[in-house]
Amino acid sequence: MTEAIRVNGQRLWDSIMAMAEIGPGEFGGSRRLALTDEDREGRDLFVRWCEEIGCGIEIDDMGNIFARRAGRDDSLPPVVAGSHLDTQPHGGKFDGIYGVLAALEAVRSLHDYDVTTEAPVEIVVWTNEEGSRFAPAMIASGVYAGLFDKEYAWSRTDSDGKTLGEELRRIGYMGESPCGEHAIGALLEAHIEQGPILEAEQRQIGVVVGGQGVRWYDVHLRGLDSHAGSTPMPGRRDALVACAEIISAVRALALEFAPDAVSTVGKMSVMPNSRNTIPGEVFFTVDLRHPDDEVLAKLDRQFRARTAALLDGQGVEGEIEEIWNNPAVQFDAQCIAAVEQATRALGYSNRQIVSGAGHDACQVCRVAPASMIFVPCAGGLSHNEAESAEPEDLEAGCNVLLQAMISLANRPSI
Ligand SMILES: [Zn+2]
């Protein structure tokens, strides 16, 4: 009976720890930026592990890796599970890696118990999810979903001017098959929550029903550089003071739409950045998110209107450029049901949840049925080397993943 199969939690933990030794971070986490030598080493280890249990490997021309375990009817579209192996510069051991290695552990368990599913099952590694070396994030799953052109993706550069395409080729992961053509019958992505909700409510599993909408803006403010000593306070055209007021307004705006709205100014540069010159120019970014696209549109209008009102009379000109508008996503009902049923059958405490972060599944769900499984992480902390998760929660999420994969791969209608 496939319902009785359980994953090996110790082997899952050991694999996560072994992967973390590749590109170890300074503070106990991981530094494995996309398409670096460390990323290649992590990929090589993953491929070796998959080959050890007899999986066939296919790599597409965005470097996405699909490791396949044949089904009884191998012509059926596969049930795919996975995530990403790249990390932030000061990344943790679990973000992304857990989803890949939980999928590997699920397939290893099928192998141990000699279970053949009706449809094939596959483990996927998506390239450059983090976007910290090559922006934007989730670019390879985005190409898969038709959201980005491949040429655009290949031409993205890192801070040294190296392109994503060159680096893919250099590390030997520019595959043959065209990205987007590999069939996916259903996609499941297990991930740490990267937020505090499951931990606070002491629930082991988040049944993820969708992802919130995101809007990214580049904002340029132009005032006038002038002498800090001899320019009187009235009449100054201080772009940084205007920026500070906008930052406060952006924060207030999200608080007005609590608890679901979030807003962040995470990047800023000040020109000329000199202590005795009034800053004449400021560049900063704004990130607005909400699970409901209509509310997000309202936030967008308010952000623009309040910025214009704040700048009025300050002698500072502002320009807001929207650089990304990623609508909220709703995951597939059948995939959500498979996760929910598996969670219930296994007896894990759970709740439905909306993903606060972007994930590869949020891209792929636009072209294939997909959903996600969240497990708690300590303090909700992620994108930080101190990121941590409990072995028993990781094991629980992996058991849910395994059972959901089996039920989707054996469903008659796939
Ligand atoms: Zn991630």
Tell me the backbone φ, ψ of residue 233, rounded to 5 degrees. Answer: -60, -50
pLDDT at res. 332: 98
Using the mean position of ligand 1's atoms as its centre, give its distance from the Cα of residue 246 in Å.
Answer: 30
Q: Are 187 and 361 in contact (CB under 8 A)?
A: yes
258 token code pair: 């609590």
As a whole number of angstroms, the distance between CA 30 and CA 16 comes to 11
Using the mean position of ligand 1's atoms as its centre, give its distance from the Cα of residue 85 in Å.
Answer: 8
Q: Are 144 and 29 in contact (CB under 8 A)?
A: no
Using the mean position of ligand 1's atoms as its centre, give its distance from the Cα of residue 129 in Å.
Answer: 7
Residue 151 makes CB contacts below 8 A (sequence gap 6+) with none
The SS3 call for residue 291 is coil
Q: Provide the 10 A C-beta neighbour count for residue 136.
A: 18
Residues pairing with 278 in the sheet: 226
Using the mean position of ligand 1's atoms as its centre, give its distance from the Cα of residue 166 in Å.
Answer: 24
Q: Provide the 10 A C-beta neighbour count for residue 98.
A: 28
In Å, what is the CA distance from 180 to each residue of 58, 109, 157, 184, 379?
13, 28, 22, 9, 36
pLDDT at res. 414: 46
pLDDT digits (tens, 9 = 90+) for 266-321: 999 999 999 999 999 999 999 999 999 999 999 999 999 999 999 999 999 999 99
* Secondary-structure breakdown of the chain: helix, strand, coil percentages, each rounded to the nearest 5: 35, 25, 40
Alpha helices in 261-359 (DSSP H): 293-311, 333-346
pLDDT at res. 413: 57
pTM (global) more than 0.85: yes
The low-confidence residues of the chain, meaning pLDDT below 50, are 414
Using the mean position of ligand 1's atoms as its centre, give its distance from the Cα of residue 133 in Å.
Answer: 14
pLDDT at res. 254: 98
Using the mean position of ligand 1's atoms as its centre, give its distance from the Cα of residue 249 in Å.
Answer: 29
pLDDT digits (tens, 9 = 90+) for 327-385: 999 999 999 999 999 999 999 999 999 999 999 999 999 999 999 999 999 999 999 99
